[in-house]
Structure 1
């Protein structure tokens, strides 16, 4: 359903993005932000799923400024490699990867209103984009690592936001989720009896029931705000 295309950020950086197109006229655009494992088969399948619902889905390679064409699995070695790449991206000068996300939003805008959804690290980036990136109409964050910290919870989103968390997630303690909910009363927060990464059917923490409910809520949310 999709294929890779090259996009260009405002500073001239060129990078790959997986683009999945709907069968008919798009009802809007959705930018899909990867975990720390690259635009791998899972993220491509997520983008394909949004395209099947009628959206133009764009999944930019947010590792491209430090390493292109990253496609990792979910074993320990791949996880360590992903953490190292994430750290390298985090260390880039200001703007950094947000420029690539903004270019993906601009590309998705050819389909109409644009939403953004991210998973794990991508969830954090989606949260940041909700407060700074132009051209967005809505944002969804799945278990965004770090987004419940006091610093991140103090951000002010400029678009409607939905956030999904797992109550068994040791990376994002439940008390920090509740603190985030109190700090952001306008954010639609959902907590599931699941672990980190529950949406990914390639991970041992996959929870089919939680993933399906979160997907239903996400699609309803995007339908309200994008069309």
Structure 2
């Protein structure tokens, strides 16, 4: 269901909520550069089916409310432009607002994809709101690889991701020996999105199993 959040700076944004309201474990799910679209709602429903309370904040609301994009070239261009208009510090306020909307007392994690993968890393290193963080193909993680996470982190990358060189993944591994890093052969950027041409069902299944096991260990 659609809800409204209030960030600490007074900004109001929409979000998608799913899962049991009395859950003891909860997640902020962070969008790609395509908005809180059908795919992101599907991801939320997947985690909700595992017993998580989920809130997925509409980060684009900072630039343009109500944006839901597809996966064509023009959609990508628009998404990149919108992302470029949003400050990372403001995005952090939005994910913290989403965390505050989760059930009181629940252990909270964060899972992000694409742009959201980088945001999930920032959630671990720049916020104290989360007990676990999982990032999928976050292109900005390498640039922030020296930042120290305050919670356990698991990262997923595609070996054929032309936007994230394996040298960047290796650099993250070297800088963060305590972080779980997985690379999926034959998988490209966005491999876990069933609506993208790069969707890789085998890699998605394996990554989801690892994600759920990781979250179960750290969120109970």
TM-score by length of 1: 0.94
3-state DSSP class of the match of 1:38? coil
SS where residue 59 of structure 2 aligns?
A: coil
Aligned partner of residue 90 in structure 2, secondary structure = coil
Corresponding position of 2:51: 54
CA deviation vs aligned residue, 1:146-202 (integer Å, no higher than 9, x gap): 2123xx111110000000001100100011101110110000000001100000000
Unaligned stretches of 5+ residues in structure 1: none
How far apart, CA to CA, are the structure 1 residues paired with 2:140 and 2:14? 26
* Aligned pairs, number: 219
Query: 1:21 Cα shift?
Result: 1.6
Aligned equivalents of 2:156 and 2:94: distance in 1?
24
Query: For the structure 1 residues 162 and 75, does the alpha-carbon distance in structure 2 shift closer, same or farther, using more than 3 Å as the test?
Result: same
Unaligned runs of 5+ in 2: none
SS at 1:164 equivalent: strand
Equivalent of residue 217 in structure 1, options 210, 215, 218: 210
Please tell me whether residue 128 in structure 1 is matched to residue 122 in structure 2: yes
Alignment of 1:64-103 (within 5 A): 64-90=61-87, 95-103=89-97
Match of 1:16 in 2: 14
* d(CA) in 1 for partners of 2:7, 2:110: 17
Q: 1:140 aligns with which of 129, 134, 139?
A: 134
Q: In 2, Cα distance between the equivalents of 1:204 and 1:166?
A: 14
Distance across 1 between alignment mates of 2:113 and 2:89: 20
1:114 aligns to 2:112 (yes or no): no
Secondary structure (helix, strand or coil) at the match of 2:23 reads coil
4+ residue runs of structure 1 moved beyond 4 angstroms?
none
Provide the secondary structure at the position in 2 that maps to 1:50: helix
Instruction: Name whichever of 76-85 and 94-103 sits farther off.
Output: 94-103
1:109 CA drift (Å): 4.5
CA RMSD of superposed structures (Å): 1.2
Following the alignment from structure 1 to structure 2, what is the Cα–Cα distance between the partners of residues 96 and 66? 11
Q: CA deviation at 1:13?
A: 1.0
